[in-house]
Amino acid sequence: MPSNKYFLIKGVLDNLRFNRASLLNIGSLQAKKENCDYIALHDIDIVPLNPALNYSYPGEGQLFHITPGKYHPIKREAGLSNNITRPDGLNTSRSNTFLHVHNKSDKRDYVHADYKKKALRELIRLN
């Protein structure tokens, strides 16, 4: 278990949209630069509610996705790698494992992923 801890916290202070995947990639690159042997990336709008969620070091070379589809508050399309360990056997479900604190007035946070991809492509094209 590592004895040194390094926390990188990045927030967005304006009302502009940002690319979540790019932000996570930046965190991953920074962790590599700092020679971290364990990195936990977490969305600020997903608050853990279940005390059985385990954020401990999963082991050398292991990937662990703490919010897989069956526990994530919004159903997602398949993604990432299939070489990821996921929690199982929690006594909670999609509705009570995490608190989802997206702004209800921002419909983009609740729409289907295909729409988001099209909207992002259009935004990139316009810029």
Q: Tokens 């954020």 appear where?
A: 55
Question: Does the pLDDT at position 11 exceed 80?
Answer: no
- pLDDT for the residue numbered 82: 45
- pLDDT for the residue numbered 78: 47
What average pLDDT does the segment 1-8 reach? 63
- pLDDT for the residue numbered 31: 79
- pLDDT for the residue numbered 77: 42
Q: What is the pTM of this model?
A: 0.42
What average pLDDT does the segment 24-49 reach? 76
What average pLDDT does the segment 57-67 reach? 72
- pLDDT for the residue numbered 27: 76
Average confidence score pLDDT of the chain = 68
Residue 77 CA to residue 117 CA, distance in Å, equals 12
What average pLDDT does the segment 26-55 reach? 78
- 3-state SS class at 47: strand
| Residue 43 burial by Cβ neighbours in a 10 Å radius (0-12, 13-18, 19+) | middle
Spell out the domain ranges in the chain: 1-41, 43-127
- Reported as a single tens digit per residue, the pLDDT across 72-104 is 554 444 444 444 566 778 888 877 877 776 666
